[in-house]
């Protein structure tokens, strides 16, 4: 679960905060989770939602974000490729947080967590066709929001751009 929130936030302290909120929510909703057909998927959805909420709070509080970045000691500057990759990741997380809640959850669960359509559908309580519609609409909106990026130059080394455009989504 920590990995899920960390992949969204890329900051350990924020990820710990988001995970604490998610675990509280999971505890409060345990009867609902126990009755759910895919409890693990639902718990991951709760974690992803908490991480996205944490990112939105951090984005809306620029002083806290600057203070966190300034407080991290560094012994050497980041290489240019890593800096570009980090900036691209920040832009992507910001864009995902601007999607509708269902689109953000589906995109996060599919492309960040690698969950199959069936697990996402079970977590959302909808059909796999609805999941595909949310993915299509989410990718379309992300494409419009991120259209100004030249993804081939800004992708971190070893990353592939086919993940967001893959038609083989089980």
Q: CATH assignment of 2-164, given 1.20.1090.10, 1.10.150.570, 3.30.70.240, 1.10.10.10?
A: 1.10.10.10
The predicted structure's pLDDT at residue 59: 74
pLDDT in tens, 2-29: 777 777 777 778 888 888 899 999 999 9
Number of Cβ within a 10 Å radius of residue 51: 29
Residue written as token pair 């991290």: 72
- pLDDT band for position 148 (cuts 50, 70, 90): low
* Inter-residue contact 144 to 134 (CB < 8 Å): no
**76 vs 129, residue with greater confidence:** 129
pLDDT in tens, 35-73: 988 888 888 889 988 888 888 887 776 555 454 555 555
The predicted structure's pLDDT at residue 159: 45
The predicted structure's pLDDT at residue 117: 92
Q: Which two tokens stand for residue 125?
A: 């309580």
Would the pTM of this model clear 0.85, i.e. be above it?
no
């Amino acid at each position: 679960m920590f990995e899920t929130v960390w992949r969204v936030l890329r900051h350990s302290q924020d990820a710990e905060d988001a995970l604490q909120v998610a675990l509280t929510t999971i505890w409060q909703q345990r009867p609902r989770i126990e009755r759910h057909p895919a409890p693990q998927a639902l718990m991951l959805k709760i974690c992803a939602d908490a991480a996205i909420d944490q990112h939105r709070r951090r984005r809306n509080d620029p002083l806290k974000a600057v203070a966190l970045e300034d407080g991290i000691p560094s012994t050497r500057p980041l290489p240019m490729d890593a800096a570009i990759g980090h900036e691209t990741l920040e832009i992507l997380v910001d864009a995902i947080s601007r999607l509708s809640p269902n689109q953000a959850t589906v995109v996060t669960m599919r492309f960040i967590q690698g969950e199959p359509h069936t697990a996402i559908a079970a977590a959302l309580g909808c059909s796999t066709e609805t999941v595909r519609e949310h993915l299509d609409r989410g990718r379309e909106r992300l494409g419009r929001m991120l259209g100004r990026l030249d993804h081939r130059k800004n992708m971190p080394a070893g990353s592939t751009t086919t993940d967001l455009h893959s038609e083989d989504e089980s």
